[in-house]
Every structure is written in C-alpha cells, then in structure tokens.
Amino acid sequence: MRKAYVLLAILVLSSVVFPTTEVTVDDCSITVDVKVGFAGDGASDEFIKKFEDGVKKIWQGKDFTYGDCECPVEIKLETKKFVTCYQAGKDYHCFDVQETDGFYYSYVRHTLYSDRSFWRDGKMRAARGNVSTSNTGNILAHEFGHLMGLKDEYYYVYYYFYVNEDGTVASGPHAVKTSEWNGKKDDIQDNAPEGAKVVLARKKDGTNHYVKYQDGVPTDSIMLNIDGTPKAYQHHIDAIVGGAGIECPDECCCGNGRVELGKGEECDYKASPEGCMEGEKCTNDCVCEIEELPAICGDGQIDGEEECDYAATPDGCPPEHTCSPECACFFDPPTFEEDMDIISPAEGAVLTFPEPVELSFGDPSRIVYINYWIGEALVYQSEDPGYMYMLEPEMIGEGEHVLTVQAFNMEMADTNRSVSFTVEMPE
C-alpha cells in the first residue's frame, strides 16, 4: 500500500531459475521455502530480526491449506547476511538495506507475475530489491509476499494536470492552486472512483493519480494494506502454491471428513456417516472392509486377535496345547495319571530260570501299549496290559541287567519303571 513515507512497487526483470523460493509437497504436506539475503549498511542483525518477526507475524504459524484435499501449507524463511547482493549470487533473493529515516521507496525487482515461466519445477527466479531500516514489519512482510510470487493488490490510475497562467493547477474539471493543494484534496477525491485513495503529486507539473483496490480483496490484506493489522489470506496461498504448479494429491483427501468419490475414496473414516454399507468399516486408507466383531473371550467364537476360545469346539489350539481363560494357547502335554508298578522280578533278583514280568496298573483299561527294554534294547511291545512278558536267561546272557517297562495311556502320555536283576546260568 502506498503511504506518504513509502512506495511498494514491483519492477520487471528477467533471471534464471534457482531455488531461492521453492514449493514442495511431501506426504500431503506442502512447504514453501524462501531464502532471503541482506546486504548494505542497514543489514544489521537487529534489522534482519525485524524482517523475520514481520514474516512470522503475517505468514508463519497459520492454518494454511491448499487444494480440495486441504494439504497443510507451511512457509519457512532462511536468512543470511552478505557484504553485497552480488555476493548472494543466484541462490538467495537479496535486499540492499538502506539506513534512512522516514520516507523510503521499498521495492522488489522481479519477473512477470502473469507468466507461469516465473516458476519452474516449483522453483522461483531470484529477485533483488531495496528496503530501509525505517520500514515497518508490515512493509517487510509485504515485500516478502513478492518473493513468493504475489502481486500488489492495488494499482495506480494516473491523470495529467498542468499549471495555468493564473497560477492554478487544472486537474479534470477542477482548478486548484498549488498553495492550496492540501486544502483541496477533497475536490480531487470527489472526482476519483468510489473507494479510491487520492495521492497528490509533489511537483508543480507532472502526473496526479489515485490508488484503486482490486475488487473482492479484503481491505486488510497484506498485499493491499500495510496499516494496522493486515493478514495473509487463503487466496494468497492459492496463488503461491498454484503458481508454482504444485498439486495436493488426491489421496490426501482421505481423512478430511468428506467422502470424495472423485478422488478414489470409497468412504472417509472421519465423515459421519463414513460412507460404507452396514457391516462394513472405513479403513485409514478410506476403503470399506467387512467389520470384524470385537473379540469376546469365552463366547465360543474365535474372533479378532484371539488365538483360541476355550468355549469353542474345537478350541483352536494345536495338539498338546490348551486354550487358557485369556483365549491364548499354551503348551500342555498330556500326563500319565494311571498307577503302574513292576511286581516281578523284584529289585536285585537273581534269575536262573525263565521268569515272567508281572505288572500292576491302577486303571489297565486306559493302557494302550507297553514297551519292554533290557538295557537300551527294545525287546518287546504289547498292547495287552495283562500280558506277561517272559525273561529268558539264556537269551539275555549272564551278568547284571536293567529291565525298563514303558507304558502309554490313551492321551499318549507315558511313564516307565525299572528294576535291576542278575542272570546266573545253572552249572
């Protein structure tokens, strides 16, 4: 906005594309990175801090979004001090900072804003400009907007005046003495369009003009007005990101609370209703899937994350495993609960003649088979718990031996008993 002490203007130059301003999108988040250099007598740390604070106040920490899918937009600023702007090269925008008091023309020399070639692959051409230590934070935030490709949201309309022989100045139908300009400003204001702001020329001959605002622009827009508490608006973000040619991907609509069928969504998990059919649930990828019922341990159904259900038949556990009250499988080998004992031969017996092996069981009906071992050799296997295996001394041979009887029950659990005996052959 033009004031008596400042003129915000844009001059047109051409330059090559370098990442001085870059717009990128990553996983539905859009970032605008702006690199700004400062040179000149006024480029103090204090001034750079004022520039950063002005940018932060207007452009940073806001809930900006872009596109139908409302990708969040963050604006970042990187600053650096140079001896001269020439030293900044092509990697930084650069301001020559003047030490002045009061009025100063601040401006950015930039390329054409109406031309998409202003951006290339989301990057902007470098710009140069002049600012002053007398500039307010709002003025600096306005100039920062130009570094992101934004135009002024006002324009000047000029008309000519001339000095008459009687010392008056003619402007349209009005004749105003130069000595009375300040008092006659309202006359010129009346001749300007509604809402325009009149600015009188400082010279006796030249061009008078008024400032005209763009239609539909909020009067507190930072690119229109630097007085009071100006703001950055959504249309600024749309111009920055859209001008850079960056898009908010369709998949970023998932989770925005609206079912965007045209964006490839079947539903939206934040929408109410979600958009799925009865019995279906909307996933975090905005796809409808059959809804799994919550697992209830002990309801006789194996659901959700349950390994098993102790009330189900079968309970869902593998062999030799049991389903716990928490519906988790644990290893539970079968146990041999039937009593078994070797009645004969007795421990330490001396065998000279054949002798049967006599066994006793608490519940012989549950015994399915029996193994007979002498030492490490399996010598016989029987499925009849009442059968008596015969020890033959001649076949066994003289000396000390160990008889082991191994019995298996219906659950295939086993137990064993052992006795030692000696074989002596008769003379």
Listed range (177-181, 343-347, 398-402, 405-409) with the worst mean pLDDT: 177-181
Which of the four pLDDT bands, split at 50, 70 and 90, describes residue 106? confident
Say what the pLDDT of residue 238 is. Answer: 96
Q: Please tell me which of 113-117, 151-155, 237-241, 332-336 the model is most confident about, judged by mean pLDDT.
A: 237-241
Taking CA atoms, 258 is separated from 11, 73, 268, 275, 332, in Å, by 44, 20, 6, 9, 52
47 membership: H or E segment, kind and range: helix 45-59
Instruction: Provide mean pLDDT across the span 165-174.
Output: 48
Query: Is the pLDDT confidence value at 205 over 50?
Result: no
- pTM of the predicted model as reported, rounded to 2 decimal places: 0.56
Instruction: Provide mean pLDDT across the span 266-295.
Output: 89
Class of domain 21-150+215-244 as given by CATH: alpha beta
Say what the pLDDT of residue 389 is. Answer: 94
Which of the four pLDDT bands, split at 50, 70 and 90, describes residue 286? very high
Query: Is the pLDDT confidence value at 228 over 50?
Result: yes
Query: Is the pLDDT confidence value at 1 over 60?
Result: no
What tens digit of pLDDT does each residue of 63-74 get? 999 998 899 999
Query: Is the pLDDT confidence value at 200 over 80?
Result: no
**Two tokens at 302?**
């194996």
Tell how strand 329-331 and strand 340-344 pair up. Answer: unpaired
Say what the pLDDT of residue 131 is. Answer: 94
Query: Is the pLDDT confidence value at 325 over 70?
Result: yes
CA dist 126 and 94 (Å) reads 8
What tens digit of pLDDT does each residue of 208-222 get? 555 666 777 888 999
197 against 213, higher pLDDT? 213
Instruction: Provide mean pLDDT across the span 122-141.
Output: 91
CA dist 346 and 171 (Å) reads 139
Which of the four pLDDT bands, split at 50, 70 and 90, describes residue 426? confident
What tens digit of pLDDT does each residue of 239-279 get? 999 989 999 999 898 988 889 888 889 999 999 999 999 88
Q: Would you state the CATH architecture of domain 340-423?
A: Sandwich (2.60)
The whole-chain average pLDDT of the chain stands at 82
Please measure the distance between the N-terminal and C-terminal CA atoms of the chain and give it in whole angstroms: 133
Chain-centroid distance, C-alpha 73: 13
Tell how strand 399-409 and strand 367-374 pair up. Answer: antiparallel
Taking CA atoms, 377 is separated from 83, 303, 343, 394, in Å, by 98, 50, 21, 16
Which of the four pLDDT bands, split at 50, 70 and 90, describes residue 110? low
Proportion of the chain above pLDDT 70, given as a percent: 79
**Residues 90/105, Cβ–Cβ less than 8 Å:** no
| Torsion sign across C-alpha atoms 255, 260, 263, 267 | positive
Which of the four pLDDT bands, split at 50, 70 and 90, describes residue 51? very high
What tens digit of pLDDT does each residue of 359-372 get? 999 889 999 999 99
**In sequence order, what are the beta bridge partners of 110?**
12
Taking CA atoms, 217 is separated from 84, 95, 152, 222, 231, in Å, by 37, 28, 11, 10, 11
**Two tokens at 283?**
């996933």
Which of the four pLDDT bands, split at 50, 70 and 90, describes residue 177? very low
162 residue type, one letter: Y
